[in-house]
């Protein structure tokens, strides 16, 4: 009997010790994870700050998206910061299909028409334009069956809102999102032809040949103004949305260490010096 009691007591004590050790282990682990994620958050933030200042200097020379990894930027902490920069002014500003005054223009040079051309260019359903329009415009008059259901009736703050729009699938979004932006003016929208990708240029100029010529010629020297564009491409018809400088950039800064990572996505406006969008995850 005494032996049984002793064995039971021993088993109980062993279980308690194991439980305690496990508790200490997970507690310490949580603490380290928390500490690391705080450090990673600050690292990611430094990545954004440095990039924003760097863009102040190089914004006019920026031609294509870049990715810059920096290994162990701090002496006492092993990790990597990877910064990705892309020009937002080279993309189609989707909010501009509904201007601030809510009057949607549908003539040839209008943002709405350029968006339709971009959808065609990407082999996407043209009706996506009307669905996006109903999502953004303040009224509740549906262009298509369910296009006003649960609509935001306001401008998009981030592109992933498009996933909430009725009739826009995940695949549509994946195809479209590299070429559009939620940034930019709704009343005087601009696209920088020195950085825009081919589908955007083709949609903007409604002409394959001119888009190709722009891409070839801008590699030699960026276009500086309308006259320069006219002289070098021989094209006299310059769309209203054309611009030659960028003022909004997307920066994604990812800090990682030992499998843990923190990412900050942001859009900074280099003219107004404002942060237009900020998401940390
Ligand atoms: Ca609406």
Residues of the chain with pLDDT under 70: none
The residue ranges of DSSP E strands in the chain, in sequence order, are 66-71, 80-87, 92-93, 180-181, 191-192, 242-243, 248-257, 260-269, 274-280
* 112: containing domain: 92-243
33, HSE (Cβ side, Cα atoms, 13 Å): 8
pLDDT of residue 65: 81
Q: Do 112 and 193 have their domain in common?
A: yes
Take residue 205 and report the two structure tokens written for it: 């100029």
Take residue 167 and report the two structure tokens written for it: 């009739």
Q: Do 103 and 177 have their domain in common?
A: yes
Q: Do 120 and 219 have their domain in common?
A: yes
Q: Do 213 and 281 have their domain in common?
A: no
Distance CA 20, CA 22 (A): 5
Determine the distance separating the centroid of ligand 1 and the alpha carbon of 150, expressed in angstroms. Answer: 9
Q: Do 178 and 97 have their domain in common?
A: yes
Take residue 36 and report the two structure tokens written for it: 């690391």
pLDDT of residue 62: 78
Determine the distance separating the centroid of ligand 1 and the alpha carbon of 96, expressed in angstroms. Answer: 14
CA dihedral 70, 157, 164, 254 (to 10 degrees): 10
The pLDDT tens digits of the residues spanning 196-254 come to 999 999 999 998 899 999 999 999 999 999 999 999 999 999 999 999 999 899 999 99
Q: Which residues contact residue 205 at a Cβ distance below 8 angstroms, ignoring those fewer than 6 apart?
A: 211, 214, 235, 237, 239
- Residue 1 located in a structural domain: no
Q: Do 111 and 221 have their domain in common?
A: yes
- Residue 39 located in a structural domain: no
Residues with CB under 5 A from ligand 1 (ion): 134, 137, 151, 153
Q: Residue 260 in 3-state DSSP?
A: strand
Determine the distance separating the centroid of ligand 1 and the alpha carbon of 120, expressed in angstroms. Answer: 23
Domain count, the chain: 2
pLDDT of residue 279: 94
Q: Do 166 and 221 have their domain in common?
A: yes
pLDDT of residue 139: 94
92-93 and 191-192 strand pairing: unpaired
pLDDT of residue 1: 85
Q: Do 189 and 115 have their domain in common?
A: yes
Identify whether the C-beta of residue 81 lies closer than 8 Å to the C-beta of residue 74: no
Q: How many helices (H) and strands (E) does the chain have?
A: 7, 9
Q: Do 173 and 79 have their domain in common?
A: no
- Residue 13 located in a structural domain: no
> 190: domain CATH number?
1.10.40.60
Q: Do 219 and 116 have their domain in common?
A: yes
pTM as predicted? 0.82
Determine the distance separating the centroid of ligand 1 and the alpha carbon of 166, expressed in angstroms. Answer: 12
Distance CA 179, CA 181 (A): 7
Take residue 191 and report the two structure tokens written for it: 């696209």
SS3 of 70-130: the string is EECCECCECCEEEEEEEECCCCEEHHHHCCCCCCCCCCCCCHHHHHHHHHHHCCCCCCHHH
Determine the distance separating the centroid of ligand 1 and the alpha carbon of 108, expressed in angstroms. Answer: 23
Determine the distance separating the centroid of ligand 1 and the alpha carbon of 244, expressed in angstroms. Answer: 32
Determine the distance separating the centroid of ligand 1 and the alpha carbon of 152, expressed in angstroms. Answer: 7
pLDDT of residue 133: 96
Determine the distance separating the centroid of ligand 1 and the alpha carbon of 193, expressed in angstroms. Answer: 31
pLDDT of residue 114: 97
Measured N-to-C along each axis, helices 198-205 and 208-220 cross at an angle, to the nearest 10 degrees, of 130
Q: Do 171 and 126 have their domain in common?
A: yes
DSSP code at position 250: E
Take residue 237 and report the two structure tokens written for it: 């018809």
Determine the distance separating the centroid of ligand 1 and the alpha carbon of 128, expressed in angstroms. Answer: 14
């Amino acid at each position: 009997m005494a032996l049984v009691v002793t064995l039971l007591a021993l088993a109980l004590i062993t279980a308690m010790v194991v439980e305690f050790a496990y508790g200490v282990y997970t507690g310490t682990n949580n603490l380290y994870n928390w500490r690391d994620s705080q450090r990673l958050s600050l690292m990611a933030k430094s990545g954004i700050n440095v990039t924003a200042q760097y863009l102040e200097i190089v914004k006019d020379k920026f031609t294509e998206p870049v990715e810059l990894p920096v290994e162990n930027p701090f002496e006492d902490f092993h990790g990597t910061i990877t910064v990705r920069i892309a020009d937002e002014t080279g993309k189609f500003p989707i909010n501009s299909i509904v201007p601030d005054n809510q009057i949607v223009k549908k003539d040839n040079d209008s943002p709405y028409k350029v968006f339709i051309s971009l959808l065609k260019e990407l082999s996407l359903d043209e009706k996506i334009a009307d669905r996006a329009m109903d999502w953004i415009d303040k009224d509740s008059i549906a262009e298509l069956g369910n296009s006003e259901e649960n609509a935001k009736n306001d401008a998009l703050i981030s592109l992933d809102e498009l996933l909430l729009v009725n009739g826009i699938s995940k695949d549509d979004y994946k195809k479209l999102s590299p070429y559009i932006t939620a940034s930019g003016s709704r009343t005087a929208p601009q696209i920088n032809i020195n950085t825009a990708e081919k589908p955007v240029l083709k949609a903007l100029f409604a002409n394959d040949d001119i888009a190709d010529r722009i891409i070839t010629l801008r590699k030699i020297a960026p276009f500086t103004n309308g006259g320069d564009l006219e002289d070098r491409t021989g094209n006299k018809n310059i769309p209203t949305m054309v611009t030659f400088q960028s003022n909004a950039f997307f920066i994604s800064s990812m800090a990682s260490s030992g499998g843990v990572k923190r990412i900050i996505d942001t859009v900074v406006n280099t003219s107004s010096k404002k942060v237009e969008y900020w998401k940390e995850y």
